[in-house]
Amino acid sequence: MKLFKSITLLMLLACLAFSAPTFPKLNNSRVVDDAGLFDENQKINLDKKLANHETNTSNQIVVVTVKSLDGYDISDYGYQLGRYWGIGQKDKNNGILLIVAPNERKVRIEVGYGLEGILPDATSKTIIQNDILPSFKKGDYYNGVNNGVDKIMATIKGEYKPAKPTNQNTPIGFLFPILFIVIIFINVIPKSEDKKKRLIPAIISGSVAGIISWVIFFVLGVSIFIAVIVFLLTLFGSNSNWSDGNYHPTSGGFGGSDFGSSDFGGFSSGGGSFGGGGASGDW
Amino acid sequence: MKIVGIIVGVLLLLAALVVLPRINNVPKLDENVNMYASQLDNQYKRRSDLIPNLVATVKGYASHEKDVLTQVTEARAKVGQMTLTPEVLNNPEAFKAYQNAQDGLSSALSRLMMVTENYPELKANENFLQLQSQLEGTENRIAVARKDYIEAVKDYNLELRTVPGKWVAALLYPEAEVKQNFTTTPAESATPKVAF
């Protein structure tokens, strides 16, 4: 498992290295107040409102305030941030970012591909001019953002319905049966303390796991990966961990939980994309 | 002898492991480029569709700015005849012509928008404000689509010019060629001057 962890870490690092501007962390929240414009209550209020909207429509709206745009144009910064965080559901691209840069005195509504139809740029511009900027000019950021969010939600309300909860809405759901098979294999094969004698069972179980995952996933990379993991586990894994009485498989729990939705109160972005839709304003 | 055989076998296996996953990369990346090209073309078309309305609205308030208005109309007519098809992508001259036509329209439009600064009544017109924000949004999308396209071409060209991909391409896709990419024009990198 250490190997798996280090690979994931490496991939994360690689992703980080390629993103151009420095973005604030999403931190499982719909209100990312990096510039510190809101107090706790205001944040909770906004978050609740946005969470409610997502449950009813599956649209993901995120309010973000940034200390600095790093010298980027706010429209350039906005779509990159939206893509980086992956706001919106993957199949609908229904994410919206409301970006406030108080130091540059700029605000932007960044609209995901899937909402460009119902929230055209001219409408975003009107919302900025009529609902957001009047409060911003008075220094009242919370009211401006709150009004803007209300107007955006009212505009995009009817466009999408929440997805019906299904048992397997993430590929992660598929991993559990495979993991199960893997564990069974490791338990069934007689373990020998002698590493050399383990080699053949390891090769067999590795290739069997690889074939099974090939049948299920039909992706070469994944099945090779699983095959290698099973091979290594069988070869080097200590038998005492797996076959003693302490191991209780939690059967029946697989696939029941709903990873894609945010009913748990936390927030996870859905992987939506952006193409530069929306409008900006300054004050 | 046996050891040599094993070493050769392992080396062959390693080579297969490196090459096999990349065997479809060239056509995949090629399709990727085509997709981004048509997205970009779409956004350019969308900008072109906005222009008749924009010209008509500006004419209502600034009819004696004939020069700028004709320039925009002419530049739009030129753009209207061109589409970014895969053939254009592989033809350096056609690609250059496409880029020049779009850049011509960009600069004509920015001149027009600068001229409108002198007409406060026009700037207060609701219809004009709408068109202006639509144009702004479209220019934005063009910028994004251009960036995506440039990235896609970069990936494709890198695959063709660096080692495992180069071998695969020479073996299986001898017809694949390095593609044209956008260059920023002097007009694009210069900040527009506003005369009062």
Average pLDDT (B143-151) is: 90
- Alpha-carbon span A276 to A97, nearest angstrom: 11
Average pLDDT (A214-220) is: 69
Instruction: Please work out, in degrees rounded to the nearest 5, the angle formed at the alpha carbon of residue B171 by the alpha carbons of B169 and B177.
Output: 35
Q: Is B171 on the interface with A (CB under 8 A)?
A: no
Q: Indicate yes or no: CB of B21 within 8 angstroms of CB of A220.
A: yes
Q: Chain A to chain B, count of Cβ pairs less than 8 Å apart?
A: 46
Model confidence band, residue A226 (pLDDT cutoffs 50, 70, 90): confident
Q: Indicate yes or no: CB of B144 within 8 angstroms of CB of A124.
A: no
CB B72 within 8 A of CB B55: yes
Helix axes A141-156 and A40-57, enclosed angle (nearest 10) = 10
Q: Is B34 on the interface with A (CB under 8 A)?
A: no
Average pLDDT (B115-131) is: 88
CB A50 within 8 A of CB A86: no
pLDDT digits over B49-95, tens only?
999 999 999 988 888 888 889 999 999 998 888 888 888 888 888 88
Compute the nearest-CA separation of A126 from chain B (Å): 9
Compute the nearest-CA separation of A195 from chain B (Å): 22
pLDDT digits over A165-180, tens only?
554 445 555 566 666 6
- What CATH fold (topology level) applies to the domain A20-163? Diaminopimelate Epimerase; Chain A, domain 1 (3.10.310)
Question: What are A63's strand-pairing partners?
Answer: A31, A98
Helix axes A220-236 and A2-18, enclosed angle (nearest 10) = 140
Q: How many CB atoms lie within 10 A of CB B55?
A: 18
CA-CA-CA-CA torsion sign (B68, B69, B74, B80): positive
CB A243 within 8 A of CB A185: no
Q: For the ranges A50-64, B17-31, B144-158, which has the lowest average pLDDT?
A: B17-31
**A235 vs B153, which has greater pLDDT?**
B153
Task: Choose among B121, B130, B166, B131: nearest CA to B18.
Answer: B166
- Distances in Å between the Cα of B107 and the Cα atoms of A280, B1, B74 are 22, 72, 12
Instruction: Please work out, in degrees rounded to the nearest 5, the angle formed at the alpha carbon of residue A263 by the alpha carbons of A164 and A32.
Output: 120
- Alpha-carbon span B77 to A3, nearest angstrom: 60
Among chain B residues, CA nearest to A224: B17
Enter the ipTM.
0.75
The structural domains of chain A, with segments of one domain joined by +, span: 20-163, 172-243
Cα end-to-end span (Å), chain B? 86
- Alpha-carbon span A216 to A210, nearest angstrom: 10
CB A95 within 8 A of CB A116: no
Q: Indicate yes or no: CB of B136 within 8 angstroms of CB of A220.
A: no
How large is the C-alpha radius of gyration of chain B? 24
CB B36 within 8 A of CB B148: yes
- Alpha-carbon span B3 to A7, nearest angstrom: 32
Average pLDDT (B5-12) is: 86
Among chain A residues, CA nearest to B40: A275
Average pLDDT, chain A: 77
Helix, strand, coil abundance in chain B, percent, nearest 5? 80, 0, 20
Compute the nearest-CA separation of A57 from chain B (Å): 25
DSSP annotation of B181 reads -
Position B4 pLDDT exceeds 60? yes
Q: What is the pLDDT of residue A159?
A: 79
Long-range contacts of A223-232 (CB under 8 A, 24+ apart): A226/A178, A226/A182, A229/A3, A229/A4, A229/A182, A230/A182, A230/A185, A230/A186, A230/A202, A230/A205, A230/A206, A231/A202, A231/A203, A231/A205, A231/A206, A232/A3, A232/A202
Question: How big is chain B, counted in residues?
Answer: 196
Strand A95-101 to A60-65 pairing: parallel
For residue B175, which phi and psi values (nearest 5 degrees)?
-85, -10
Position A131 pLDDT exceeds 90? yes
Which of B137, B142, B145 shows the shortest C-beta gap to A278?
Answer: B137
Position A143 pLDDT exceeds 70? yes
Which residue type is seen at A138? K
- A165 contacts: CB under 8 Å, gap ≥ 6: A258, A261
CB B82 within 8 A of CB B101: yes
pLDDT digits over B30-41, tens only?
999 999 999 999
Q: A158-194: b or e for each residue (b if 16 or more CB lie within 10 Å)?
A: ebbeeeeeeeeeeeebebeebeebbeebbeebebeee
Which of B133, B138, B143 shows the shortest C-beta gap to A125?
Answer: B133
pLDDT digits over A233-280, tens only?
777 765 544 444 444 444 433 333 334 444 445 788 888 899 888 999
Q: B108-123: b or e for each residue (b if 16 or more CB lie within 10 Å)?
A: bbebbbebbeeeeebe
Which CATH number is B25-189 given?
A: 1.20.1440.20
